[in-house]
Amino acid sequence: MTKDDKTTGKKTEANGKAPVTAANFPLFYKTPAPLDAKAHADLGLKKNFGFGFTKGVNAVPINLIEMPQICHAYPIAFSPDANATPVAILGLRDGENLFLRADNSWESNTYIPAYIRRYPFIFSETQKGEQLTLCVDMDKNVVQKGTDQPFFNAEGKPTELSQNALEFCKSYHGAAQTTLEFSKALAASGLLVEREAQINIANNRRINFSGFRIIDEQKFAALDDKTFLEWRSKGFLPFLYAHLFSGAQWQRLSWLLNQKLEKEAA
């Protein structure tokens, strides 16, 4: 399943991730393959396969437009590389997602980042960025034969599941391009600084969480008028404030970790 896109030029996948290639798969994806009516005629998604694929991940990329929702549940940080990719922090320790429950469900009443909701579907692109192809991760924990959620119907046409996945990936891809513009501007501004979060947990222990960047509020307050007005005209300001507001969610991560430690100690 493909979609032509000749309007945005050269692109990258998932907020700075490389397009799907044999040597470089984005986070979560193991064996993504283009959906094909003949090759995948009898395949579909497992019902309620859950969010187990997020186990072992403590941060995921996010798009600009979802930052106002993200800031109410997760701290927002930026990657330390030149892309300055915005990410939602899911856990305080390596390999730990505090929002994933034991039954592979997500923490209740909590917004789920679009990067996670998109899985197992994803777009791949031609080198010139002229065509987008809908792919699905052929993980045996997610895809199976004879499911009641098939990718194609008896006539070989995409089912509603596949059509919805195509539209979701299309929207995600567009939002990712806007996010790249935002991230590049922020990275070039000099506002980002490296930080280390010191989190107090049970039994008077402390966790030092590092390897991320945030906006320095003093530098932001001193931002020159030209840049401020330019960012206002581009609609960036609400998302900058969403990042700043998200700092309150470090306390929520601390609470979730303490809850987990108490259960493990019981």
* Residues 135, 32: Cα–Cα separation, whole Å: 6
Give the torsion sign (CA, 243, 245, 251, 253): negative
What span, in angstroms and rounded, lies between the C-alpha atoms of 229 and 68? 21
The reported pLDDT for the residue numbered 2 is: 42
Model confidence at 238: pLDDT above 50: yes
Look at 97-111, 190-204, 227-241 and tell me which has the smallest mean pLDDT.
190-204
Provide φ and ψ at 197, rounded to 5°: -90, 130
- Among candidates 117, 123, 152, which has minimal Cα distance to 135? 123
Q: Give the tens place of pLDDT for each residue, 212-234.
A: 999 999 999 999 999 999 999 99
Residue-wise pLDDT for 198-215, tens only, equals 777 777 777 888 889 999
**Which residue range(s) make up the domain with 132?**
2-265
Residue 186 has pLDDT above 80, yes or no: yes
pLDDT at 6: 30
Q: Say whether 119 sits in a helix, a strand or coil.
A: coil
Q: What is the pLDDT of residue 1?
A: 55
Give the count of beta carbons closer than 10 Å to the beta carbon of residue 264: 7
Contact yes or no for 198/89 (Cβ under 8 A): no
Do 239 and 246 touch, CB atoms closer than 8 A?
A: no
CB atoms inside a 10 Å sphere around CB 215: 22
pLDDT at position 195: 87
Burial (CB count <10 Å: 0-12, 13-18, 19+), residue 189: middle
Q: Kindly report the average pLDDT of the chain as a whole number.
A: 87
The total of structural domains in the chain comes to 1
Whether the CB-CB separation of 39 and 45 falls below 8 Å is answered with no
Residues paired with residue 212 on neighbouring β-strands, in sequence order: 195
Higher pLDDT, 242 or 18: 242
pLDDT digits (tens, 9 = 90+) for 115-173: 999 999 999 876 555 688 999 999 999 999 988 999 999 999 999 999 999 999 999 99
Contact 152, 47 (CB under 8 A): no
pLDDT for residue 265: 78
| Whole-structure pTM value | 0.86
Confidence at residue 197, expressed as pLDDT on a 0 to 100 scale: 78
